[in-house]
Structure 1
Amino acid sequence: MLTNYHTLKNLIIQIKPKLIHSQIVEAFTQEKDTLHIIIAGEEASALELNATGQGYIFLRPKFERARKNSLDIFPEIFGDEIRDVLIHKADRIIEILLSSGLKLIFQFFTGKVNFFLLNQKNEIIASFKNPKDNIGKIFESEKKDSNYDLMLSDFNAFKDVWESNKIENPVLRFVKSVDTIDMLTAREILHRAGELEAGRIWKALVDVGAELENPKPRIYYEGSFPRYFSIIELTHINLRKIEFDDINEAIRKFVIETRVSKSYRDEKKTIETKLNELVEKRKRTIEKVIEEIENNQRAQQYEVYGSILMANLNLIEKGLEEVELVNMFSEKGEKIKIKLDPSLSPVENAQMYFEKAKKTKASLKIAQERLERLKFEIKQLENLLDELALCENFDALKKFKEKNLEELKKFGIVKDKLVAKVGGKFKRFIVDGGFEVWVGKDAKSNELLTFKFSDKEDLWFHARGTSGAHVVLKTGKRQPSKKAIEQAGSIAAYFSQARTSRLVPVVVTKRKYVRKPRGAPEGTVAVEREEVIMVEPKLPSEEIE
């Protein structure tokens, strides 16, 4: 489309007056496969050329070169004056003749787009792509001549070529019959002809030829995305179009909008893929949690075992591996077999079952809470997917990200700059309400967490009266629940020297009330206001990797 022979021919006619007698200041690349040639003429400008696919070329206002990650290309021509700009009579090759006698060649063959610097012997002395394969070779065009003018002016010549061509696909047959015509233009000519009869096709070719000599550039859109570029009317395409008077400006707009479109599509696809992966991951986790819940539903049975053993202590001797006793909780009074630890006394075996019941209940509660949270998160993710599906352009995607920024950060879809900066400096956990809790690993990271990576409204925790980790509950301007605060306190108790205690006093305050005394050792702080909560040292069910 952008490098159709006739598009290039008319583009060169338009921009040639701006290029001749101007001076090449520099040439460089700072994006993959894209060459910028800065030109000083009546107005500073830049030729932008791309060497992917079919490539493109257009003249744009001068722009500033990046300070980093840019590389000089063809330094031999810096300071040269442009003497002439030509297009090959039969092929998509643009030549720029320079005052030094060197020559720039821009080759726009599909899949073989490349830019060369030639000496006066037509020897390639520099190549934008694949220099090892090209430098030292003599540059020669593949086509020496074109039959286009003959096909356009002589019906019988066209008829002979068309009817002798045996290619079944009519579009490809036309492209092989008439030089300089691309697939898109061939489709348009055959559409206008209406049938595969030589006379009708030739008449359509003549009509299109007249339009090619008096081009009217157009961009055709699918929705808000650019789909086709053409310098003739495309009657076979039923899409919204915008017409231009300036070929160069039309190409520039098409390139920019296509770039934005690709960026949008790539970003939307990336977000969609990540959301779907998170949904599937949570569904797999739910299966495991349900299995865990089923395994932990024996709490009541363990309590029954403990109660039966306590009621029958006189019938049990130490050293037994199993005992059969009447189940006093059964209406029919059936007997029940209970496994014992032979190293424990009857009372200790009963206590063992009561302790198992307690732990199982606790595990069951955690698992059930986790199951509910996973179901809730799946609903959140599915809602995000539904909303994302409605985004049909870059602006809509931007609004989607802004509206759902906190959730997208929470799920790791959009990178939280602070989290990315943190890396593995701290341990991180999820507590009730989806809040994150960050934990320092040593004196240095404690200090970093408290004074560099915490907001003044975050809640700060530390086991009272003993050494331990600094712990921060990241509030994000939300109010955490009492349960979330207790869970954060339990984490602080766990990462302290009081971990083995049943209950631990933990200081909780806003981070803004924590300060570092002058000259104090690393990790040492003073707290100006505080509350104390009594919590059990333990970790929540989910740690962030």
Structure 2
Amino acid sequence: MALDGIVIACMAKEMKERIEGGRIAKIAQPEADALMLTIKNQKDTSRLFLSAGASLPLVYFTEQNKANPMTAPNFCMLLRKHIGGGRILSVTQPGLERILVLEIEHLDEMGDLCRKKLIAEFMGKHSNLIFCDDQNTIIDSIKHIPLSVSSVREVLPGRPYFIPDTMQKQDPLTVTEENFCRILSEKPMPLGKALYSSFTGLSPVMAEEICYTASLDSTVSAGDLGKLEQLHLFGTFRRLMDDVKSGSFIPCIAYDRSVPVEFSALPLSHLSAYEQKRFDSMSQVLEGYYASREAVTRIRQKSAELRHTVQTALERNRKKYDLQQRQLKDTEKRDKFRVYGELINTYGYGLEPGAKELTALNYYTGETVKIPLDDTMTPQENAKKYFDRYGKLKRTFEALTELTKETREEIEYLDSVMTALDIAVSEEDLTQIKEELRESGFVKKRGPKDKRAKITSTPFHYLSSDGYHIYVGKNNLQNEELTFRFASGNDLWFHAKGIPGSHVIVKSEGKSKEELPDRLFEEAAALAAYYSKGRGNDKVEIDYVEKKQVKKVNGAKPGFVIYHTNYSMVAAPCLSGMTELR
């Protein structure tokens, strides 16, 4: 979700509270299109990050400093010259535009008080940071936009600054009921789209929220709404705008199984299927959301090579398995050839020379069968031919049965590695998976200098609602370690039934399973479901048993076990109710 006008309004409120009246102590330009302002306000110091990146415009307060180039860029030097040490008089947002205006008071070269404006526009690829004088004349900008690039507005030194009105949108903070209803009735498009395309600062997510709160379908045509529906929708719309005017914001992030999917300055009731976490400030939301998304993206990119290796091996083994299954099916007729040979030996004494067929009673089934014969062979030779075909198919069946089992186990193992890649959260996790693949022969050593990587990845560690410690393996090597070296005999062991997944160990602290609370079983099963290939399903069947019932198979891949006496339950994949420990 991009920054919308409501998120910017929430940031404007936060900036007013933190930096109005403060002085700019430092100005840095850590990136080509971003600024970091250090502002001291009485005893407090704040770092404000402003980015005009085309793909990711951002504004938030942060505790983290960013590395700066050895030589400051020209725009940064210009700002230091004019507003270094200046006092921030106000932070404003024009209407509900995605724009923030910092009005700054400073001393000029003659020692006289002057005012300047630093304007941050967060408009996707048109985002910019523009420095103006008190007459709204552009002094400079972090991005220069000549007429050849934009026919709507030039952003160059000496040009007047204005907000382009290219979409002819209405200000949602001031629109009247009459105009609201008129605008919607003139929009022959889905209601949600009509809202965000007609009013400044509304994103598709907020338009969906307004429709949901008003109990209206966002996909129906706006022009088809009745008068009462229009009035009801306006009432919902106005209440949301009243919250924006009064600054009644509740910054939050919606998570889909720990992965952030949306953020907002107001609760998103239409995303009730996701877990929503509230934050104290919009800065925490923006910094946390994009840090989490960046971490997920980075791990995905880092794991791309390993995924390709595993996926290639999976496809190769699946093709091999399909071929083996077809060949195995061809051996199903082997017993027929053995019976043919026996029947020829039994009844073939009465055959005339040159016979092409033998009709005989199959004493195994009681049915009459017709056996094709080679008229150039004797009955004994025909019988031998059938016995030879039986022997060949039997040997093929025995060999394929073993090969098919090995191939199936290889597929199951590679599926488990792919699941481990899906739940990896750090580069250390990927290092351990790569080491596992190297030991299994799927990743080759590049040479004598390719030393064993140092493994620092550790299992997930959770504290249940009742205070019990739960451990979750991130990959097969950790599963092996948890189950056979870390867990005690009476500890509980959980695993998704019939699909790849993590081993989940519950430390029973010496108690029998009958003494442990039911909620502990539910939470451990939810973890086993979440850290399995079935994490995208609504429900997953989970097996659980005391660890002493779990056995390692000789020669099996890491993490592969057998158990015979177990209990089962169904759980929804989730992490709620537990605290993750580091």
Report deviation, 1:241. 0.8
What residue is the counterpart of 1:92 in the other structure?
Answer: 98
SS of 1:118's partner is strand
Q: Which among 86, 99, 106 is matched to residue 120 of structure 2?
A: 106
Give CA deviations for 1:192-238 in whole Å, capped at 9, x if unaligned: 22234312312221333344341111100111111111122222212
One-letter code of the match for 2:208?
R
What residue is the counterpart of 2:500 in the other structure?
Answer: none
Runs of 5+ unmatched residues, structure 2: 107-114, 150-154, 217-224, 320-405, 452-582
Structure 1 contact 104–118 (Cα < 8 Å) conserved: yes
What residue is the counterpart of 1:126 in the other structure?
Answer: 140
Give CA deviations for 1:233-279 in whole Å, capped at 9, x if unaligned: 22221211101232222222222222222223333345323544577
Moved more, 274-283 or 169-178: 274-283
Q: C-alpha distance in 1, partners of 2:298/2:421?
A: 14
Question: How does 1:203-242 map onto structure 2 within 5 Å?
Answer: 203-212=235-244, 213=246, 214-237=248-271, 238-242=273-277
Cα-Cα RMSD: 4.1
What residue is the counterpart of 2:130 in the other structure?
Answer: 116
One-letter code of the match for 1:141?
I
Report deviation, 1:33. 4.3
Q: Which among 177, 201, 204 is matched to residue 180 of structure 1?
A: 201
- Flag the structure with larger Rg: 1
Report deviation, 1:58. 0.5
SS of 1:63's partner is coil
What residue is the counterpart of 1:164 in the other structure?
Answer: 186
Give CA deviations for 1:107-130 in whole Å, capped at 9, x if unaligned: 012331111122344333332234
Q: C-alpha distance in 2, partners of 1:406/1:32?
A: 41
Report deviation, 1:383. 4.1
SS of 1:241's partner is strand
What residue is the counterpart of 2:161 in the other structure?
Answer: 139
SS of 1:99's partner is strand
Structure 1 contact 94–105 (Cα < 8 Å) conserved: yes
One-letter code of the match for 1:94?
L
Report deviation, 1:380. 7.7
Q: In the alignment, does 2:29 pair up with 1:60?
A: no
Q: C-alpha distance in 1, partners of 2:139/2:199?
A: 34
Report deviation, 1:30. 3.4
Q: C-alpha distance in 1, partners of 2:294/2:54?
A: 13
Runs of 5+ unmatched residues, structure 1: 285-375, 414-433, 439-452, 456-545
Give CA deviations for 1:18-66 in whole Å, capped at 9, x if unaligned: 2233333443343464432233343332211232336220111262535
Report deviation, 1:67. 6.5
Structure 2 contact 128–141 (Cα < 8 Å) conserved: yes
What residue is the counterpart of 2:431 in the other structure?
Answer: 401
Give CA deviations for 1:468-499 in whole Å, capped at 9, x if unaligned: xxxxxxxxxxxxxxxxxxxxxxxxxxxxxxxx
Structure 1 contact 49–58 (Cα < 8 Å) conserved: yes
Q: In the alignment, does 2:41 pair up with 1:20?
A: no
Going from structure 1 to structure 2, the CA distance change for 1:88 and 1:210 (only over 3 Å counts) comes to: closer
Going from structure 1 to structure 2, the CA distance change for 1:211 and 1:121 (only over 3 Å counts) comes to: closer
Give CA deviations for 1:86-136 in whole Å, capped at 9, x if unaligned: 111242111112224332110012331111122344333332234666323
Going from structure 1 to structure 2, the CA distance change for 1:233 and 1:67 (only over 3 Å counts) comes to: closer
What residue is the counterpart of 2:562 in the other structure?
Answer: none
SS of 1:179's partner is coil
Q: In the alignment, does 2:279 pair up with 1:244?
A: yes
Going from structure 1 to structure 2, the CA distance change for 1:85 and 1:270 (only over 3 Å counts) comes to: farther
Going from structure 1 to structure 2, the CA distance change for 1:68 and 1:170 (only over 3 Å counts) comes to: same
Going from structure 1 to structure 2, the CA distance change for 1:126 and 1:164 (only over 3 Å counts) comes to: same
Going from structure 1 to structure 2, the CA distance change for 1:272 and 1:30 (only over 3 Å counts) comes to: farther
One-letter code of the match for 1:165?
K
Q: C-alpha distance in 2, partners of 1:91/1:387?
A: 48
Structure 2 contact 15–91 (Cα < 8 Å) conserved: no
SS of 2:173's partner is helix
Moved more, 168-177 or 59-68: 59-68
TM-score (norm 1): 0.52
Q: C-alpha distance in 2, partners of 1:112/1:408?
A: 47
Identity of aligned residues (%): 15
What residue is the counterpart of 2:464 in the other structure?
Answer: none
Moved more, 88-97 or 135-144: 135-144
Q: C-alpha distance in 2, partners of 1:379/1:125?
A: 68
Give CA deviations for 1:371-404 in whole Å, capped at 9, x if unaligned: xxxxx99998984564133444453764243243
Going from structure 1 to structure 2, the CA distance change for 1:123 and 1:85 (only over 3 Å counts) comes to: same
What residue is the counterpart of 1:190 in the other structure?
Answer: 211
